[in-house]
Structure 1
Amino acid sequence: MGYFNAAWQDIKNSPGWFGKLVVLGLVSLIPIFGWIVVYGYLYGWGRDIAWGVHAPLPAHVFGNEDGRLYSRGFFVMVIGLVCSLAPWLVDVVAMMLTGSSAWGWHYGGHFSFPFGMASGVVGLVLFALSLAAMLFAVLFFWAGSMRMSIYGRLSAGFQLGRLWSMLRRDFNGMLRILGMAVLLMFFLSVAVTIFIIVVVVVGMLVGFIATGGNLNINANHPGAAIMGMIFTIGGVAVILALLAGFASSVMTVFITAMITRALGYWTRQFDVPAWRGQDDPMPFELAGAVGSFGGPGQQPPYGQPPLR
């Protein structure tokens, strides 16, 4: 069963799952703090399945059962911010070398300094590097966030050697998660676009009704007709825009829940209960070594799986 199929089954089989996503969607609208809670809640759930603990979505969004809800969410945001610097640095280099963004080539821009005609080739190379940087930034963000969630320490999310070992072990699995995430985000974009079209159509219909059914503003009271149309259309547009924004927030939280749970399943293959300290090799790195794990005093992170 695929990672996303398993994630969807876990979400829909959680009691009151839709209501919890709605609450998380509302919380996510709070700047910074909202996503600290969302990330802390969802990556904690992803950590559960990485341990092999098959539990539904936690009953309370602010429950903080393991005492790490807020620190975990904050650390995820820090890891995401740091990983986002890689594509940005590529773009800075492009600006220094060519006088234009690495994405300028893609969007029809041109490079004139200091390479002249050769700058087009340089721009293409930098654009490819920017895409690669974005890809690996996302993958390292996801793997780092999961590793941090398991150890509960920010430093565990920046162990590039360990993260690369995990990615190299099952790079295809992580790419499948990325592909499904992109597909879900595409559907979200389509849904938002359709909603905007609906808003425009509804606004035109309201204007049609507000002017007597024929958009005739040259009636006996043209000023009143115009003002009525403006306020009616504006009010409806604001309400629909707020609803669209909230629906988009809930859908974004749903996609994040799918991704984090899928990441938990992806991480589970590395035998998390057998992990020791964050600086120690993982079981698959010591495959074939005698007595690698299970010796006296060798404890997994936190000493026991998470409790819900």
Structure 2
Amino acid sequence: MQKGYFKAAWNDIKQSEGWLGKMFLLGLLSLIPIFGQVVLFGYAYGWLRDIAWGVETPLPPRIFGNEDGQLYRRGLIVFVINTVFCLIAPGVVEGVFSVMAGRGLDTVSGAVFGGTGHVLSGNISGLFSLLILVIASLFYLVAAARASIYGRLGPGFQLSRLWAMMRHDTKGLVRVVCVGVALTVCMGAILGGFALGMGVVVAALTALGVWGSGGMASALAVMLFALAAMMVCLVALVVLSAASAFITIMTVRAMGYWVQQFDVPAWRGQDDPMPFEMASGQAQR
């Protein structure tokens, strides 16, 4: 197990020429539904594929370069895998949990602890959702990596192969996922803080009577505030989208270093045992 996946990924990113500009461009592209995500995934997982094969390269100089001719195909494959593992599967699991256990948990907690019990039930449900998110991310990253390396959708849904890789180095994989989730949570906290700050400003101006004073001054104040708020929100959107793209690139690159330990150049067909499985089988003999 190699240590310092994110440190290695960060070094690769910061040593790439024009990396910050690429993050902003990828972030803006990601705002385009589906197409933007396909391009981002295709770009990121193409870079993962390089390092998984042991090829150390900086960030590809052109986002739409499509040097291997697989940018959009790879991105679409990862988009499908992401949708299944991070949206559909967690939604189904949480829905079943809510129906089968959630109501019972809320009823029992309410009966035992009263009003506090309902809050406790909500906290438990929140922790369960976070756990599902982490587990889904584990499967998604391994599935997307396998599919990107093989260039096909099928390898991403071979659960037995995914599970074998996850068991081989669970600690390293969990570290990659947890750091990625932590970065995402931090970005969400920043977004929440920004929204709260905007709310405080609006409340303060309302308390001071800026909106209700009437006349030209009030109308001008409303117009100026709306314009300023629009500009601030636009800047925040651009910055946060770039941060989101950075987290994606960083996490995927770190995942590439994790996959590197599986001796990708020695992989055969998608149904064949992986090198570490063959080595383990020979050792048992």
Look at both structures and tell me which one has the larger radius of gyration over its CA atoms.
1
Shift in Å, 1:182:
2.3
Structure 2 stretches lacking a partner, 5+ long: none
TM-score (norm: length of structure 1): 0.77
Partner secondary structure for residue 287 of structure 1: helix
Partner secondary structure for residue 53 of structure 1: coil
Shift in Å, 1:217:
7.0
1:13-44 per-position Cα deviation (integer Å, ceiling 9, x unaligned):
00111111111111111111001000000010
Structure-2 change in CA distance of 1:196 and 1:96 (3 Å):
closer
Shift in Å, 1:260:
0.4
- What amino acid is the match of 2:249? A
Aligned to 2:278: 286
Shift in Å, 1:71:
1.0
Aligned to 2:181: 182
Range that drifts further, 27-36 or 189-198: 189-198
Aligned to 2:89: 86
1:146-193 per-position Cα deviation (integer Å, ceiling 9, x unaligned):
000000000011111111010000000011112211221233234334
Identity value in percent: 46
Structure 1 stretches lacking a partner, 5+ long: 291-308
TM-score (norm: length of structure 2): 0.83
Decide which of 59, 62, 69 is 2:61's aligned counterpart: 59
Shift in Å, 1:86:
2.6
Structure-2 change in CA distance of 1:87 and 1:110 (3 Å):
farther
Between the aligned partners of 2:192 and 2:281, the Cα distance in structure 1 is 55
Structure-2 change in CA distance of 1:4 and 1:234 (3 Å):
same
Is 2:232 aligned against 1:240?
yes
Aligned to 1:172: 171
Q: How many residues align?
A: 268
CA RMSD of aligned residues (A): 3.1
Shift in Å, 1:69:
0.5
Is 2:40 aligned against 1:73?
no
- What amino acid is the match of 1:226? S
Shift in Å, 1:247:
0.8
1:41-98 per-position Cα deviation (integer Å, ceiling 9, x unaligned):
0010011100000000001101111111111111111111111333222233234435
Aligned to 1:14: 16
Aligned to 2:241: 249
Aligned to 1:145: 144
Structure with the higher fraction of residues in helix conformation: 2
Between the aligned partners of 2:210 and 2:132, the Cα distance in structure 1 is 53
Structure-2 change in CA distance of 1:259 and 1:98 (3 Å):
closer
Between the aligned partners of 2:100 and 2:30, the Cα distance in structure 1 is 39
- What amino acid is the match of 1:280? D
Range that drifts further, 132-141 or 58-67: 132-141
Aligned to 1:302: none
Shift in Å, 1:137:
1.4
Between the aligned partners of 1:166 and 1:134, the Cα distance in structure 2 is 19
Partner secondary structure for residue 66 of structure 2: coil
Aligned to 1:158: 157
Where has structure 1 moved over 6 Å in runs of 4 or more?
Answer: 201-205
1:77-128 per-position Cα deviation (integer Å, ceiling 9, x unaligned):
111111133322223323443574x9xx5xxx4479xxx99xx9xx89x957
Instruction: Confirm or deny: 8 A CA contact 1:144 1:163 kept in the other structure.
Output: yes
